[in-house]
Structure 1
Amino acid sequence: MEVAEIKVSYSNTNSEKVKVTNSQIAYDVILKHWDLNILEFQEEVKVMLFNRANILLGIYEMSKGGISGTVVDIRIILSVALKCNSSSIILVHNHPSGRLVPSEPDKAITKRLKEACSILDIELLDHLIISRDGFYSFDKDKVFNTNLLEL
């Protein structure tokens, strides 16, 4: 009887170290790794993975969906975090409408992910809802509008 072999690997060839110490820095970094044409067209979910020193290990593209939703699979998020030996994560998704208000499903997935992360000793640092003009931070429970910050 043959059994499938499972391989687990992670490789970081990037020598640049990005330290994320707050939600604004996380937003600035993730926006550089987002296709701005899709930001207002299609909902996407990405996961930022960090080591103990809050150095960004990488960004995992979790899913792409439609205009009003996409899949967030907690098991996949946690398997990626474990594979990367990540100590903490930030979940990020966009609202194509530009509306930076969390939906009930957004709140529910954040609660479930936080609980699941705690079992594996991985910290959910934040969940950001982003648009071109700003972001909502679940950690701060507040909307940050980049247009206002520039005044």
Structure 2
Amino acid sequence: MIAKRLIVWAVLALMACVFMAGLAQQQAIQQAKVTMADIDNALTKGPVFIEFETAECGYCRQQRPITQQLEAEYAGKATFFYVDAVENRGLAKAFMVTGVPQMDVIAKKADGKYTYIDRNGAPSDSISASRFMGLTQKDALKKALDAAIQARK
């Protein structure tokens, strides 16, 4: 009888730990809402890197540390935004998000239009041609960020 109770308590404790770990992981990826005004304001200071993600996305959780490394390397040179595509549906729609993770590098805004940087480091006014979809390696993103910084000079 005592053994059964111990087993029940052990199972309940294990379930509670798993539940709490899931909550902690989900909370770690949550962030504040981002607006177009936030992006436009940041563009007055330098390039902007936007990462669209969701809490449930496994590839997003793998992408986040890569992006955070870049954020540390480009501190003071570019602004990084992490956007939950579910919570920020309007912004996700504006940036034509069809899957996550999606990263966009914006060099500047002129005449009401964004200048994006594509995989080859070339400027583009087409978000669909310049977005980074899926798990993306650091070097590809670094190339775009370097080009965005150069495009502002």
TM-score, normalization: structure 1?
A: 0.30
Higher relative contact order, structure no. (Cα contacts within 8 Å, ≥ 6 residues apart): 2
**More strand by proportion, 1 or 2?**
1
**More helix by proportion, 1 or 2?**
2
